[in-house]
Amino acid sequence: MRLRNLLLRWLLIPTLLLWAAGFALSYLRSLAQAHEAYDRTLLGSALVVSENLAVADGEVVADLPYAALEMLRTDAQDRIFYRIASLDTGSHITGYADLPPPPAVPAAEPLFYDAAYKDQAVRIVALRTTLPEGGAQRQLLVQVAETLDARHQLTRRIVSEAAAVQLLLIALAAGLIAWGVRQGLAPLKRLRSEVRARGAHDLTPIDTRAVPREVAPLIHAINTHTERQRQLGEAQARFVANASHQLKTPLTVLRAQVDHALMQTELAAMRQVLTQLNETTDATGRLVGQLLALARSEPGRTLEVTAFDLTELARDATFELLALARSKRIDLGFEGADAVPVHGEAVLLRELVTNLVHNALTYTPEHGRVTVTVAQHDQRAVLTVVDNGPGIAPSERSKVLERFYRAPGTQPQGSGLGLAIAQEICARHGVTMTLGEVPGGGSGLCVALLWPAQDPAPT
Ligand SMILES: Nc1ncnc2c1ncn2[C@@H]1O[C@H](COP(=O)(O)OP(=O)(O)OP(=O)(O)O)[C@@H](O)[C@H]1O
Ligand SMILES: [Mg+2]
């Protein structure tokens, strides 16, 4: 559906209807006026006839020379008939005896009526006149009839002339409307050419000042959409660059370890290298998982939001790392009995908890303690991961949230992505993450996650 056609249709149809109504009205009006004018002439003829009546020898005579009647004719084609009758006796006096009588006897006013005479439609006027005869008065009826040729001809002329003028006007108006619509749509055309002329990578917003005000909201929406696409594209490019860079190191290590293993001749030595290889494979697997989580939590991607119980999710994620805790003889505990309902993308929130617990287990020395707690305070879900490891110096706390940053001197292997991912997942879910001191003092780190009061559906 073209906007131009739509506009033309809704402008032209009402205009045509209006013109049709106007045409009908003016046609009927001019017809009535023409009719009135002809009736007046007809009445004039009847008056001439009545003025030329006289009584001679007791007889009424119409002194109407042919030329006089000829002059009465309104048009050369029309024929005129007249008839004089006595109103006293009702008898015919002179003229055409069979002229159709009036529907009623006219009073003071003349009476007009339509009838058929000699197989032709005629318009007749009937009037009453008095003729003095000695001391008495004679009451006479004068009828003058006229054929309708002239009237019909005039009607035809009125119709054809009016139709020609109206048609011309309609054609003019249609042309003007089409031109107007074209002019009105010109800014949209310009916009189209501007957008078409853009390069494939040009994602800059379209200038809304140059477009009509009605179209501006649409352009705004498109601009917003384009901006989101741009961010998404940027994020993806960044991700690909980061991911390939990050994967290079563990793959090189793996390659070296495999070479090293192949060089061993003794089974015991080979076993030792294979154990290392196993660990590197685990770490690489974790890195791939983290990179995927990073890709999923990028702004611009729509989250797959569901409602779930945070307690259950956090407990599962915690106990999945039980083996790691055992290998370091860390006392890993979970506190939280009641269900705490939240909304979000479960896979991401699970990754978030895993990253925090994994950090706590990684950086807490052997025989340490790590406790995960889920609770609800003032309608807000709260999750804490507390360890009794070295903690993070306050000056480092904002830096460790950056991608690939690791606090100086950090021992166990890692890529520095865990907390950056955690931070990004929190931002997408409206969750506030704070790194702080352990409650009650002592060394260690307390990471607290605070859900928003309303737990609105994340964006
Ligand atoms: N519980 C913790 N105790 C002490 N230091 C920590 C703790 N958690 C994080 N850190 C410090 O913050 C840094 C960043 O942590 P992050 O999880 O982002 O990366 P990472 O653990 O080094 O690598 P990975 O991407 O494998 O998790 C760590 O290198 C570490 O120095
Ligand atoms: Mg980590």
**What digits encode the pLDDT tens for the residues 12-69?**
899 889 888 888 888 888 888 888 988 998 898 888 888 888 887 878 877 776 655 6
What is the rounded distance in angstroms from the CA atom of residue 158 to the CA atom of residue 163?
8
- For ligand 1, atom 22, the nearest C-alpha belongs to 416
- Ligand 1 neighbour 381 (Cβ under 6 A): no
Give the DSSP per-residue string, 230-259.
Answer: HHHHHHHHHHHHHHHHHHHHHHHHHHHHHH
Q: Taking all residues of the chain, what is their mean pLDDT, rounded to a whole number?
A: 88
pLDDT digits (tens, 9 = 90+) for 368-419: 999 999 999 988 999 999 999 999 999 999 999 998 888 888 887 788 889 9
Ligand 1 lined by 354 (C-beta under 6 Å): no
The pLDDT tens digits of the residues spanning 164-216 come to 888 898 899 889 999 998 998 888 888 889 889 988 888 888 888 878 888 88
CATH 3.30.565.10 domain range(s) in the chain: 303-450
Q: Exposed/middle/buried for 290, CB within 10 Å: 0-12, 13-18, 19+?
A: buried
**Rounded CA separation 286/284 (Å):** 5
pLDDT of residue 56: 79
Confidence of residue 74 (pLDDT cuts 50, 70, 90): low
Portion of the chain with pLDDT greater than 70, in percent: 96
Backbone Cα Rg of the chain: 53
Cβ contacts of 407-414, under 8 Å, gap ≥ 24: 410/363, 412/362, 412/363, 413/283, 414/362
Average pLDDT (362-372) is 96
pLDDT at 457: 55
Phi/psi of residue 112, each to 5°?
-105, 140
By most ligand atoms within 8 Å of CB, the mutation choice from 355, 419, 433 for ligand 1 is: 419
Question: Would the CB of 300 count as within 6 Å of ligand 1?
Answer: no
Q: Is the pLDDT of residue 143 over 90?
A: yes
284 in ligand 1 pocket by Cβ < 6 Å? Answer: no
Least-confidence region, from 27-31, 121-125, 217-221, 320-324: 27-31
**How far does residue 355's CA lie from ligand 2's centre (Å)?**
6
Tell me what the mean pLDDT of segment 143-150 comes to: 89
- What CATH number should be reported for the domain whose range is 303-450? 3.30.565.10
For ligand 1, is residue 444 a contact (CB within 6 Å)?
Answer: no
Domain with CATH 3.30.450 in the chain: 3-155
Instruction: Return the pLDDT at 112.
Output: 96
Instruction: Kindly give the distance from the C-alpha atom of residue 233 to the centroid of ligand 1, in angstroms, as a whole number.
Output: 28
CB 414 less than 6 A from any atom of ligand 1: yes
Average pLDDT over residues 274-283: 90
Ligand nearest to the CA of 393: 1
What pLDDT does 51 receive? 87
Question: Taking the C-alpha atoms of 223, 229, 233 and 236 in order, what is their torsion angle to the nearest 10 degrees?
Answer: 140
Question: Is it true that domain 3-155 has CATH number 3.30.450?
Answer: yes
Give the span between the Cα atoms of 390 and 399, in whole angstroms. Answer: 16
pLDDT score recorded for residue 68: 59
CA distance 38 to 272: 127
* Shortest-distance ligand to the CA of residue 407: 1
* Sequence-ordered list of residues with C-beta below 8 angstroms from that of 246, at least 6 positions apart, any chain: 287, 291, 404, 415, 417
Tell me the ligand closest to 409's alpha carbon: 1
Over range 287-293, report the average pLDDT: 83
- Region 280-296 average pLDDT: 84
Report the amino acid identity of residue 347.
V
> Lowest mean pLDDT: which of 12-21, 55-64, 250-259, 445-454?
55-64
Q: Return the pLDDT at 30.
A: 83
Residue 428 has pLDDT above 80, yes or no: yes
* Neighbouring-strand partners of residue 85: 92, 141
